[in-house]
Amino acid sequence: MSKLPRVGALFWAIKIVATTLGESVSNYVAITPMKLGYAAAVIIFFTAFALTLIMQLRADRFRPAVFWSVILMTSIVGTATSDFMNRTVGLGYTGGAAVLTSLLVIVLIGWRATGLTMDVERIDTTKGEIWYWTATLLSNTLGTSSGDFLSHSVGLGFRGSALVLSTAMLLILAAHYLTPISGTVLFWTAYVLTRPLGAVAENTVEKPVAQGGLGVGTTITSAVLLAVLVILVGYQMLTHRQQTLTLDTAAVRR
């Protein structure tokens, strides 16, 4: 059995909600109301990420609550790390996005060079999982930087950035059905873009009106997103037998 879920509408819905929640939770702890700062947030969240990842790697099959906990933690620690790099260290949104994009490209090329499958539905080895989670952590860290880059450096604002990213996702969906472009290439493109989409969507709702948001705040935003995530993951737990594939081990490693 694959330890990762099938890719479909439910997968993308949970991915977007989880990564959007990650942005909100990181802001809640690092900025307001807790105001612990980015460095402290990175340490706390990276520890939590490591613990959830160990649970995932030790799992014998797909366990929705564990899998999505790791996704959520990559988004939370990724947001805090990106903000620390860009604001505390001083790389800026453009510099941070450039560094993280380069790292993600290197990881994806390295993964491809190993000969291990990059089709997430068919990953069933620990090495494959490690590559997957490394790419996920980097893409979710990049998502915050790229979302801020579009909103602030390019000047699109939160709503404009959300519109651009939503359009890009629709184009990828159309390409999936209407073009012969590799499904794996389209998957990873969409997988990376869901993170900045979640970031700018969260900022649109959470940030004060003076900053271009709706002024809902991090507490209410986080609570609503958490409730939606629990409902979606709960549904997947009830239907998890239909959410994974039974794999031919030899075929996977080809």
Closest CA to 145 of 36, 51, 26, 43: 26
pTM for the complete prediction? 0.91
Spatial separation of the C-alpha atoms in residues 115 and 251, rounded to whole Å? 12
Torsion of CA 7, 10, 14, 16, to 10 degrees: 80
- Residue 124 clears pLDDT 90, i.e. is over it: no
- Residue 241 clears pLDDT 90, i.e. is over it: no
pLDDT at 21 (0 to 100): 96
Determine the average pLDDT of the residues in 197-220: 91
Closest CA to 10 of 226, 178, 174, 240: 240
- Residue 132 clears pLDDT 90, i.e. is over it: yes
Q: Is the Cβ–Cβ distance between 204 and 214 less than 8 Å?
A: yes
- Residue 240 clears pLDDT 80, i.e. is over it: no
pLDDT at 192 (0 to 100): 92
The dihedral built from the CA positions of residue 143, 149, 151 and 156, taken in this order, carries a sign that is: negative
- Residue whose pair of structure tokens reads 């790419």 in the numeric block: 135
Determine the average pLDDT of the residues in 206-226: 92
